[in-house]
């Protein structure tokens, strides 16, 4: 494997990334070109060499043990939109995927946006759609060395909340789950830390949160939680890859744990970095209640150099 961390092409890519993402652009229409350009983020990529893989390579003359470098980095698997008005996904080109239907027509909140009305519910739709920036990302990431394959397929709908009406709008059956009934379980933030944004369960579109940005983030986390697990009682497709020799895909997304996934804000501001919820960074309120994030997930892999995978060793 050849590393080109200091070549002119590497510096050029970083320069392009800084131009495209160096400053946040607020309140803009989110389109595919913007989303593709957002993949040029060294902070979100977080490329690391983590160990060595061992392979048994055999020919008619005998067998030898070969090695390859084990790497780990994040991949933008999906765009997760969290928005108030049904049929108005902020990502313009995919808006037609989730129009209003007979079971999911309206949206909006149960509040007049008065700060003291924090006991009334907010509602967000959510769509999880495969990230369209795969080719540009792979060219950018390959400048660091060998790269892994993600689970997402561009423009593939993994979750459209307008098709998940019973679970998304009525919280059936998750409103009866222990995670939804017991305080302190599966929460984004903590009460003791005074940074509680909301609860992951029930994983639907309603929650009590006076801050619109935080409400949208919680709903995005819920949608990501669903699609990164199998056999959930929702209408969705799992956004997961199967492990194989020399390939370690991302598992279930877990709130506040960056080792399972992190978020890059796309709108109402475009961020050049990734974070987890809750965070202390800028939280711009969208004028129409529409938000979107790229969900980056960690993958590990190494180049196949033999017929039999013997194992791997990680550096400390």
Q: What is the mean pLDDT of residues 87-94?
A: 97
User: Bigger pLDDT: 116 or 277?
Assistant: 277
State the pTM of this model.
Answer: 0.88
Containing 51, the helix (H) or strand (E) segment is strand 48-59
- Tell me the average pLDDT across 127-149: 96
Question: Residue 206: inside a domain, yes or no?
Answer: yes
Q: How confident is the model at residue 3 (pLDDT cuts 50, 70, 90)?
A: very low
- Asked if residue 189 is part of any domain, the answer here is yes
Evaluate whether 9 touches 30 at the Cβ level (below 8 Å): no
Report the alpha-carbon distance of residue 293 to residue 87 in Å, rounded: 18
Domain total in the chain: 1
Whether omega before 278 lies within 30 degrees of 0, making that bond cis, reads: yes
304 within a domain of the structure (yes/no): no
Q: What is the mean pLDDT of residues 170-188?
A: 95
Asked whether residue 310 is domain-assigned, the answer is no
175: pLDDT strictly greater than 80: yes
d(CA 217, CA 198): 9
Q: Which domain holds residue 103?
A: 8-48+77-237+255-294
Cβ-proximal residues to 250 (8 Å cutoff; 6+ apart), any chain: 77, 151, 228, 240, 241, 260, 261, 297, 298, 299
Q: Is residue 64 situated within a structural domain?
A: no
- Does the residue 21 lie in any domain? yes
Rounding to the nearest 10 degrees, give the CA dihedral for residues 37, 43, 44, 47.
110
């Amino acid at each position: 494997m050849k590393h080109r961390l200091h070549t002119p092409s590497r510096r050029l890519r970083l320069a392009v990334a800084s131009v495209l993402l160096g400053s946040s652009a607020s309140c803009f229409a989110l389109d595919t070109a913007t989303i593709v350009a957002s993949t040029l983020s060294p902070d979100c990529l977080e490329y690391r060499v983590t160990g060595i893989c061992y392979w048994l390579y055999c020919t008619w003359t005998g067998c030898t043990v070969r090695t390859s470098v084990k790497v780990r980095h994040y991949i933008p698997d999906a765009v997760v939109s969290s928005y108030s008005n049904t049929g108005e996904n902020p990502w313009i080109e995919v808006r037609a995927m989730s129009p209003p239907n007979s079971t999911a027509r309206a949206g909006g909140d149960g509040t007049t946006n008065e700060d003291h009305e924090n006991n009334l519910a907010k509602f967000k739709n959510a769509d999880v759609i495969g990230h369209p920036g795969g080719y540009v990302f792979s060219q950018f990431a390959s400048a660091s060395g060998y790269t892994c394959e993600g689970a997402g397929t561009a423009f593939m709908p993994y979750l459209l909340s307008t098709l998940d009406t019973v679970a998304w709008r009525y919280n059936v059956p998750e409103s009866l789950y222990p995670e939804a009934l017991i305080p302190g379980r599966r929460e984004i933030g903590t009460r003791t830390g005074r940074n509680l944004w909301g609860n992951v369960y029930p994983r639907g579109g309603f929650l009590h949160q006076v801050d619109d940005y935080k409400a949208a983030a919680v709903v995005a986390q819920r949608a990501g939680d669903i699609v990164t697990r199998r056999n959930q009682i929702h209408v969705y497709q799992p956004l997961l890859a199967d492990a194989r020799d020399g390939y370690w895909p991302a598992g279930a997304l877990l709130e506040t744990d960056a080792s399972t996934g992190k978020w890059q804000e796309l709108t109402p501001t475009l961020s050049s970095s990734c974070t987890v919820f809750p965070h202390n960074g800028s939280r711009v309120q969208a004028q129409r209640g529409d938000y979107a994030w790229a969900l980056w997930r960690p993958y590990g892999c190494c180049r196949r150099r033999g017929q039999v995978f013997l194992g791997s060793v990680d550096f400390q």
